């Protein structure tokens, strides 16, 4: 690993993004492509992978939902606190669409926001379907709208927008939208369903996967999915490639490397 991949960055702003979810902005010259990730070390706690949601003007942003000790520690940082970044790592999204649609579940909207921002800077805008369990868990809606994207909302309980999942809303919208490429990120069960729907209308696309990662550089093997390593071969995969992976949507590995049913 070259020394340039490691940096210490200072938190300069923290914004509430949703219930138990924050966007954290750090001083950094890191240039991340949409879909890549960083390994974040919180001193005295842990090192974890995080997708990049913002990257501009010497600032890098992470949108973090509190799910465990490390994410809670990140969200409890105060302005001026420092963390260590390694990266960016992994394969990002291909930027080949002329009329893209983005499908996000929960905090899966984070890497898709950077993708939407990058496309907007290229003069390309499209549609974003954002799903969550309820309205207070919807993430980054305003930021997608500020980029000029058409935003469609789905909540499981019907508290905002369409009542149902993001994949349910996608199936409905595919009947009226003109699209040429689909990007998606969120819970793996959702990704599995989104890909099934896209394939039913021959719509190509890519999905960003989440897996347990300890090293981020393809050494530890904790992120293995069949013969692939998500940190090295992903985290972004083409739909056709994912369909060949038998563990996709069905199983994940725990901290000890044991294969467990995906939930």
Please list the rounded mean pLDDT of every run of 10 residues in the chain (263 residues): 69 96 96 96 93 95 96 96 94 97 97 98 97 97 97 97 97 94 96 96 96 89 91 96 90 74 68
Q: What is the pLDDT of residue 263?
A: 57
Residue 168 and residue 181: Cα distance in Å, rounded? 18
How many domains would you assign to the chain?
2
Yes or no: say if 89 and 231 are a contact pair by the CB < 8 Å rule: yes
pTM above 0.85, yes or no: yes
Residue 10 and residue 3: Cα distance in Å, rounded? 18
* Domain presence at residue 94: no
Q: Does residue 63 share a domain with residue 148? A: no
Q: What is the pLDDT of residue 4?
A: 44
Q: Does residue 187 share a domain with residue 154? A: yes
Cβ neighbours of residue 152 closer than 8 Å, sequence gap 6 or more: 127, 128, 129, 130, 161, 162, 169, 173
Q: Does residue 173 share a domain with residue 82? A: no
Where does a domain end: 89, 122, 137? 89
Q: Are strands 46-51 and 37-42 parallel, antiparallel or unpaired?
A: antiparallel
At residue 151, φ and ψ (nearest 5 deg) are -110, 130
Q: Does residue 133 share a domain with residue 240? A: yes
Give per-residue burial for 33-51: e unless 16+ CB within 10 Å, then b. bbbbbbbbbbeebebbbbb
34 alpha carbon, distance to own chain's centre: 9
Q: What secondary structure does DSSP assign to 86-100, as a single string? A: EEEESB------SSE
Q: What is the pLDDT of residue 1?
A: 36
Return the closest-CA partner of residue 179 out of 84, 103, 258, 230: 103
Task: Please give the residue range of the domain that contains residue 190.
Answer: 100-261
* Domain presence at residue 106: yes
């Amino acid at each position: 690993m070259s020394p340039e991949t490691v940096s210490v960055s200072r938190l300069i702003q923290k914004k509430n993004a949703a219930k138990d979810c924050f966007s954290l902005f750090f001083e950094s010259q890191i240039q991340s492509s949409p879909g890549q990730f960083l390994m974040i070390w919180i001193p005295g706690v842990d090192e974890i992978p995080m997708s990049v949601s913002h990257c501009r003007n010497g600032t890098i942003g992470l949108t973090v939902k509190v799910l465990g000790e490390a994410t809670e520690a990140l969200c409890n940082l105060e302005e001026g606190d420092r963390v260590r970044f390694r990266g960016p790592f992994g394969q990002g999204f291909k930027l080949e669409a002329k009329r893209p649609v983005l499908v996000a579940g929960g905090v899966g909207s984070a890497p898709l926001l950077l993708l939407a921002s990058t496309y907007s800077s290229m003069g390309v805008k499209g549609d974003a379907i954002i799903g969550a369990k309820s309205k207070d868990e919807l993430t980054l809606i305003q930021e997608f709208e500020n980029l000029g994207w058409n935003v469609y909302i789905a909540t499981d309980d019907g508290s905002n927008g369409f009542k149902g999942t993001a994949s349910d809303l996608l199936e409905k919208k595919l009947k009226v939208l003109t699209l040429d490429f689909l990007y998606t990120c969120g819970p793996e069960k959702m990704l599995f369903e989104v890909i099934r729907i896209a394939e039913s209308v021959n719509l190509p696309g890519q999905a960003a996967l989440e897996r347990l990662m300890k090293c981020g550089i393809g050494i530890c093997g904790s992120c293995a999915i069949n013969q692939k390593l998500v940190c090295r071969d992903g985290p972004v995969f083409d739909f056709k490639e994912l369909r060949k992976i038998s563990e996709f949507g069905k199983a994940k590995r725990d901290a000890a490397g044991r294969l467990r049913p995906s939930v």
